[in-house]
């Protein structure tokens, strides 16, 4: 199996795109092939890190948006509402 | 019905600005009632928008007819998760209690944060491609266009190459599974 096909199968398994039967077959292969199971573990971790990284990026975007909205040239009705609260 | 095209930063920005106008004041008022300050309100609200965005991208909010109320519900759950306190006289409603928060939100240890910095430095373009596909759920045809690939197949191949590259780099740091996933 090419590396690409292997990554694709792992991807399909982790994303839930396999049928129930395909997933069962794949799980059996994980038991038989520890190196494959290892790749699945690391791919799962990698995707978690991709998600965490995307959230950090999104938070940066949100801080910039907030600075625009609440800044000197920002959204006056919104600024007034927030000023009334604090 | 909420629809969001898994599209560019511009469309995302428009959505967020609209949610700021419609939802931030009520979240800010609630945080103040909880004894929080303005900075905490801003922080929790931004996190609420991230959770809201993820659910929207995943198609979980197609029947949500009151986005500001939902964002407030998310904010309350996040506040509880982060600060472990809700005033007894202001309980969550049953509907709010049922709002799910991703289990890995606010759950990073030192090693994860260090690894995250490494991953972010290791390959910016690869990371952007993977974020576009796995997080923002942008179709590969659109990723091909945005990143200048000749066709969808090229984008697909590059996606898998990037996944393998980052996966191998993460593994090469030789961190144990439990260290990262706890």
Greater confidence, B182 or A54? A54
**B86 & B119 share domain:** no
Residue A21 pLDDT greater than 90, yes or no: yes
> Is the residue at B104 inside a domain?
no
Among residues B97, B123, B153, the one where a domain terminates is B97
Among residues B56, B74, B97, the one where a domain terminates is B97
DSSP B6: S
pLDDT in the model for residue B171: 84
Question: Where would I find the H helices in B34-109?
Answer: 38-57, 67-83, 94-97
Angular region, B69: left φ>0, alpha ψ -120 to 50, beta rest = alpha
Residues 133-172 of B with CB under 8 A from A: 134-136, 157, 160-161, 163-164, 166-168, 170-171
**B26 & B64 share domain:** yes
Cα separation, B72 vs B92, in Å, equals 11
**B50 & B84 share domain:** yes
Cβ distance of A11 and B112 shorter than 8 Å: no
Contacts within 8 Å (CB) and 24+ apart, A58-62: A58/B50, A58/B53, A59/B46, A59/B47, A59/B50, A61/B9, A61/B12, A61/B13, A61/B16, A62/B16, A62/B46, A62/B49, A62/B50
* A56 neighbourhood in chain B, CB within 8 Å: 116, 120
DSSP B96: H
Cβ distance of B21 and A51 shorter than 8 Å: no
Cβ distance of B46 and A41 shorter than 8 Å: no
The distance between the two most distant Cα atoms of chain A, rounded to a whole number of Å, is 64
> Is the residue at B14 inside a domain?
yes
> Is the residue at B103 inside a domain?
no
**B18 & B93 share domain:** yes
> Is the residue at B177 inside a domain?
yes
pLDDT in the model for residue A86: 87
**B79 & B26 share domain:** yes
Partner residue facing A53 (CB), from B21, B116, B180: B116
The model scores a pTM over 0.80: yes
**B89 & B148 share domain:** no
DSSP B86: -
**B14 & B88 share domain:** yes
> Is the residue at B91 inside a domain?
yes
Establish if B90 touches chain A: CB-CB under 8 angstroms. Answer: no
Among residues B42, B72, B97, the one where a domain terminates is B97
pLDDT in the model for residue B113: 79
**B19 & B68 share domain:** yes
pLDDT in tens, chain B (182 residues): 444 444 567 889 999 999 999 999 999 999 999 999 999 999 999 999 999 999 999 999 988 899 999 999 999 999 999 987 777 677 888 889 899 999 889 877 777 778 788 778 778 889 999 999 999 999 999 999 999 999 999 999 999 999 988 888 888 875 544 455 54
Read off the pLDDT of residues B102-113 as tens digits, 9 standing for 90 and up.
Answer: 988 987 777 777
**B13 & B89 share domain:** yes
Shortest Cα–Cα distance, A38 to chain B (Å)? 10
- Domain that includes residue B158, residue range: 110-181
> Is the residue at B1 inside a domain?
no
Listing DSSP states for B107-128 in one string gives: ---HHHHHHHHHHHHH-HHHHH
Shortest Cα–Cα distance, B13 to chain A (Å)? 7
Establish if B7 touches chain A: CB-CB under 8 angstroms. Answer: no
Count: domains in chain B: 2
> Is the residue at B2 inside a domain?
no
* C-alpha closest to that of B103 among A77, A51, A43: A51
CB atoms under 10 Å from CB of B130, counted, come to: 25
* B20 neighbourhood in chain A, CB within 8 Å: 65-66, 69, 75, 78
**B88 & B119 share domain:** no
> Is the residue at B130 inside a domain?
yes
**B88 & B117 share domain:** no
Partner residue facing B166 (CB), from A46, A54, A86: A46
pLDDT in the model for residue B119: 79
């Amino acid at each position: 199996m090419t590396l690409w096909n292997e990554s694709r199968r792992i991807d399909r398994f982790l994303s839930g795109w396999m049928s129930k039967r395909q997933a069962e077959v794949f799980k059996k292969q994980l038991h038989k092939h520890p190196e494959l199971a290892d790749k699945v573990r690391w791919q799962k971790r990698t995707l978690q890190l991709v998600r965490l990284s995307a959230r950090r990026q999104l938070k940066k975007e949100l801080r910039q948006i907030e600075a625009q909205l609440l800044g000197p040239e920002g959204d006056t009705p919104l600024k007034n509402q927030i000023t009334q609260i604090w | 019905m909420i629809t969001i095209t898994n599209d560019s930063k511009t469309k995302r920005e428009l959505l967020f600005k609209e949610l700021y106008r419609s939802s931030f004041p009520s979240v800010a008022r609630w945080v103040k009632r909880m004894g929080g300050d303005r900075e905490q309100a801003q922080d929790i609200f931004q996190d609420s928008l991230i959770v809201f965005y993820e659910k929207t991208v995943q198609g979980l909010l197609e029947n949500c007819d009151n986005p500001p109320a939902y964002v407030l519900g998310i904010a309350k759950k996040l506040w509880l998760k982060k600060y472990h306190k809700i005033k007894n006289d202001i309980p969550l409603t049953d509907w709010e209690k049922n709002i799910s928060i991703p289990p890995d939100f606010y759950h990073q240890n030192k090693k994860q944060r260090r690894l995250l910095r490494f991953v972010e430095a290791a390959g910016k373009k690869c990371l952007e491609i993977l974020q576009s596909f796995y997080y923002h759920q942008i179709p590969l045809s659109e990723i091909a266009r945005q990143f200048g690939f000749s066709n969808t197949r090229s984008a697909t191949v590059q996606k898998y190459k990037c996944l393998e590259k980052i996966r191998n780099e993460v593994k090469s740091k030789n961190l144990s599974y439990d260290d990262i996933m706890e």
